[in-house]
Amino acid sequence: MKFNWLSLVVFVLGLVLLIAVNVHAAKPEFRVEEATLEQIQKALLKKQITTVELVNLYLKRIKAYNGTCVMEPEGVLGPVLTIANAGQINALSTLNLRPATRETWGFDSRKARSMTDSVDNDPGMLDALEIAALQDKQLAKTGKLVGPMHGMILAVKDQFDTRVMRTTSGADAPYANDRPPTDSTFVTKLEAAGAITLAKANMGEYAGGDRSSFGGTFCNPYDTERSPGRSSGGSASAVAANLVTCAIGEESGPSVRNPAKNNNVVGLAPTQELVSRAGMIRASAINDRVGPLCRTVQDVAKILDVIAGYDPKDELTAFAVDRLPAQKYQSFTTERSLQGIRIGVVREFMNRELFSRADDESIAIVEREVEMLKKLGATVIDPGPGGALFQGCVKHYAPIAYNSALANQFPDQFPVDPKGKPSTDHIPVLLAMADGSVAFPESITIRGLGTEPSIGEGRYVLDAYLKERGDANIKTTEDLIKKSRFFTDVRPGSGFSDKKAALQAKFDDKTLDMSNRMQTRFALQQIVLQCMAQQNLQAVTYPTGNVPAPKLGAPAEPSVNGRSPLAWTLLGANGFPAISVPAGFTTEVYDRIPDPKSPKATLMVGPVKAQLPVNIDFLGRPFSEPVLLKIAAAYEAASKHRKAPQGFGALQ
């Protein structure tokens, strides 16, 4: 019989191929870069990776990319110089590792869990790897994940209490015990659901700026000479560079959405009353919001599912009772059509004639993305260039909603005597403004409403936190001023602001008066809700911020016509939920430098070629997170604008 060599060759090749396929199928390579929670959990259940291995993968990236990103010739408190393509971002200030483990990894002692407990051997304070090992043991025993957050490796902004890691809001303050006695409410919820807090995120000290007296300067992974977004910049840049799965930031102004914009990630600033603020070094009594930052809308929604809801420790969350959806937030992230949804375009935030050349490209990018919303089936209500979505409502309702606050801004139309009492009848003028028979002040627009100041708010919430924390050495704002160390490289008009002076300004307030803030908050909500109802809008959209990330330490683009150099703030700061989603990248930007002829002035320079992230906001009524998540997820899936930063790629 003649032997068939061809058949043998085919058989052997087939066998080799089958073995290769089976080996690959048995344990395909898991990549931590850009991994979502869903992908991580599938890998855990298929035994492609363990929780300990997952934590180690993130630690490996932290070791590679979390180093100092600026030159500090006089140390962390002195002047700094930026470094082009630094390859480091200094996003994480504290690591949840026991001393021996931290030293084995080669992390600096400055990254220790505590500066006041160098031994750090309390068996009740497990570190990230110890928790991961317990989770692996439980998974091996039951074949089930320990909870819906199993595999979520988190960074938490240093503004939030973590009982196993130091918490100082970025300050170099000599607490007798730099660890707070308890966790923030949301930290407790997330960890109970299986999340592991791997690190505290570096932050702008006391929720402002690009520097921390303890943690140093942190940088943007898309251009390490630029700002990662101020206060929550460390949280967002850690997510962008894949140092963690997600992070938790805080927003009193735009400090979740502005870092999301600067770092090409998704950031949700939820309804003010939806998520507990208990256990945080607060900046405001009514502005602070706890917000997740992730690389996908779905992961943001999964975190919200865990942290949303009433907490008796935070009185504002009483408004959330019976206001949560019947189904999980994450369930709203699967649809890809926006049929039946009406979205308004806030052209007041996009009028090129009112701003500067620095705004132009971001506005153009969002104008382009609005067309994608139409393709997804949304009905878009767009007043067009130069138009105004809200101005008709503002003119009609501001006279009654703002009343005396409006009158005080225009003494010519509303005169008063030397004692401050009306010298004419103000009510007919307000009525005439409301019905249009008297011209309404053109300077009053949605860009400037809701900005009434308060007195003593900052000092009250900070002293209240310190009193509850009960530290033996730091008991009041005055103690922080007298005993802390502060960075000295202060540059007015930039992200390097004077932190000691800011604390002193808080301490100088001797009474608490938030009446104007509370009244204008209600007034703004009333006007916006009425305008949305009249136009049957479920959401509105606009650029998260018009001005791309500025150079670190450089002068910011000047505020003009209600547009700040950061993200659009007023609606979110007055309680409306907003989600920021990647919308594209610039091709060029304009920067600012000091004017050598005038110390307080700046000069615009550029254009400079730069590919910097731009995000789009979707904002809705209070407690409308389900519809915002639906819009954001459909847009994200269609646009695919998330791109990992170059220079922070996979490790060997």
Helix (H, G, I), strand (E, B) or coil at 573: helix
Give φ, ψ of 582 to 5 degrees.
-55, 135
Question: Could you tell me whether strands 539-543 and 342-345 are parallel, antiparallel, or unpaired per DSSP bridges?
Answer: parallel
Cβ–Cβ < 8 Å for 528, 572: no
Please return the burial class of 349, using the count of CB atoms within 10 Å of its CB with bins 0-12, 13-18 and 19+: buried
Helix (H) or strand (E) holding 248: strand 246-251
**297: amino acid identity, one letter:** V
Q: What b-and-e string marks burial along 359-393, b requiring 16 or more CB atoms within 10 Å of the CB? A: bbbbbbbbeebbebbeebebbbebbeeeebbbbeb
Cβ–Cβ < 8 Å for 183, 161: yes
Please return the burial class of 526, using the count of CB atoms within 10 Å of its CB with bins 0-12, 13-18 and 19+: middle
Residue 539 DSSP symbol: E
CA distances from 185 to 318, 319, 467, 648 (A): 15, 17, 18, 33
Cβ–Cβ < 8 Å for 445, 387: no
Q: Structure tokens of 235?
A: 């949280």
Question: Could you tell me whether strands 379-381 and 342-345 are parallel, antiparallel, or unpaired per DSSP bridges?
Answer: parallel
Could you give the angle at which helices 37-45 and 297-307 cross, rounded to 10 degrees?
80
Helix (H) or strand (E) holding 342: strand 342-345
Q: How far apart are CA 624 and CA 436, in angstroms?
A: 33
Helical H segments across 241-279, by residue range: 257-263
**CA dihedral over 353, 355, 360, 365, signed as positive or negative:** negative
344 DSSP β-pair partners: 381, 540
Residues known to be catalytic? 157, 231, 255
Q: How far apart are CA 90 and CA 64, in angstroms?
A: 11
Q: Structure tokens of 379?
A: 């009905």
Q: Structure tokens of 395?
A: 């003119």
Q: How far apart are CA 446 and CA 387, in angstroms?
A: 13
Cβ–Cβ < 8 Å for 285, 252: no
Cβ–Cβ < 8 Å for 560, 595: no
Q: How far apart are CA 333 and CA 209, in angstroms?
A: 33
Give φ, ψ of 365 to 5 degrees.
-65, -45
Question: Could you tell me whether strands 211-212 and 216-217 are parallel, antiparallel, or unpaired per DSSP bridges?
Answer: antiparallel
Please return the burial class of 538, using the count of CB atoms within 10 Å of its CB with bins 0-12, 13-18 and 19+: buried
Q: How far apart are CA 352 and CA 367, in angstroms?
A: 12
Question: Could you tell me whether strands 70-71 and 81-82 are parallel, antiparallel, or unpaired per DSSP bridges?
Answer: antiparallel
Q: Structure tokens of 144?
A: 């089930």
